[in-house]
Structure 1
Amino acid sequence: MFLLDWLFGRRHGKPDAAPAPARSLKEADGCAPGTSIRYSADLVEHLVRDHHAMLECFAAIGKAARGARFGEAALLLERFRADLHGHLLVENVRLYVYLEHTLADDPASHALMREFRHDMDEIGKKVVAFLARYARLGEDPALAASFVADLDAVGAALADRIRREEDVLYPLYAPVA
């Protein structure tokens, strides 16, 4: 439950603490309009750390594959898959939903954010298909022949996406005025 609580901005109190009183309208400031999703000053930093960890894992996958250590590459692929799914969940709920609501009155920024979200959906489908295709990499030697080339293509798409997110999308994330 902690992950869901963190995703939705809830904080844990003492187990026997009395429930918090209902918030007034003024106290609700800081939430994206129409949601209970609050701005989080460390969200972008968290997402960037995720990016670095995923890129390191991806590099390790490539190194293992190029060394014909496909069992190791398969284990790293599973770790990458789990990390990616966790990252996308946080990004979809905490970033995109927040931006969807806070940028509603800024048509240009809202359109840019929606374009990023649509693009990520497309890239996500390709990466998930890649991960599904090579899930048995350590067990099926026939998969090894195409793996490195496919890995390089996915890696290039992900690296480009990460760069664009960090340079263009993440700066749109700001506290509600």
Structure 2
Amino acid sequence: MFDFVGKFFKGRPEKQKPVVRQTVKSRGQLKQASARSKGIAFDSGLIQNLEKDHEMLVEIFGKIWSEGYEKSDFDVVSRHLSEFKSLFQSHLLKENVKFYAYLEQAMKKDSHSLSVVREFRKDMNDIANAVIGFCKKYDKPEYTKVAHESFKKDYQGIGQALVRRVQLEERDLYSLYAPS
């Protein structure tokens, strides 16, 4: 299947790799840079950015229903599901890489708070799996049309889980994000 990759590299002439020597000075600079950049840095605009994502996700999620499902336009349902899934995955990446990693780093000496943050993260991952599963299940217009009733039930369940989660994050969790 991926034979083209091997063929590509087989046909290329061997290049000698340059030898990199590390001087005492460069090792010292490397250590200083490493000490300065340990961990995830605080991002003063992160919470505002995450909340903006929430607004956009809620808007798109609403369009799935109002512009697609209610009008029995399953092409629109599919299109908005794709848009929603893409933004949702981007949002999750930001949360996992910047938000949760930062909180875990900042709270590593407070085992109770760290445990709470990790539980929030685990809960979000469970919700994420359900949301992505929902998007994949109904991403084909013809399937959504056949599964009209189950879509309605699944949509409502996902919507309730997302609303609960967004409220919890914005009300409780985001307040923990502060410069350390």
Where on the TM-score scale, by shorter chain, does this alignment land: which range? 0.7 to 0.9
TM-aligned CA deviation for residue 45 of structure 1: 0.4
Which of these residues, 55, 64, 69, is aligned with residue 65 of structure 1?
69
Relative contact order, CA 8 A, sep 6+: which one is greater? 1
Task: Indicate yes or no: 2:92 matched with 1:91.
Answer: no
TM-aligned CA deviation for residue 156 of structure 1: 0.5
TM-aligned CA deviation for residue 108 of structure 1: 2.5
Aligned to 2:59: 56
C-alpha distance in 2 between matches for 1:109 and 1:67: 46
Aligned-pair RMSD on alpha carbons? 1.8
C-alpha distance in 1 between matches for 2:133 and 2:45: 31
C-alpha distance in 2 between matches for 1:83 and 1:23: 37
C-alpha distance in 2 between matches for 1:172 and 1:108: 13
Aligned to 2:105: 101
Mark the runs of 5 or more structure 2 residues left unpaired by the alignment: 1-28
C-alpha distance in 2 between matches for 1:23 and 1:69: 59
- On the 8 A contact 1:61/1:73 being kept in 2, the answer is yes
TM-aligned CA deviation for residue 39 of structure 1: 0.2
Amino acid at match of 2:155: L
- On the 8 A contact 1:66/1:148 being kept in 2, the answer is no
- Structure 1 runs of 4+ aligned residues shifted over 4 Å read 21-25
Please, what TM-score do these two structures have when normalized by structure 1? 0.78
Which of these residues, 91, 116, 132, is aligned with residue 136 of structure 2?
132
Flag the structure with higher helix content: 2
- On the 8 A contact 1:47/1:87 being kept in 2, the answer is yes
Percent sequence identity over matched residues? 33
Mark the runs of 5 or more structure 1 residues left unpaired by the alignment: 1-20
TM-aligned CA deviation for residue 55 of structure 1: 0.3
Amino acid at match of 2:128: G
Highest Rg: 1 or 2? 2
Please, what TM-score do these two structures have when normalized by structure 2? 0.77
TM-aligned CA deviation for residue 163 of structure 1: 0.5
Describe the SS at the equivalent of 2:161.
helix
- On the 8 A contact 1:44/1:170 being kept in 2, the answer is yes
Q: 1:45 to 1:23 in 2, by over 3 A?
A: farther
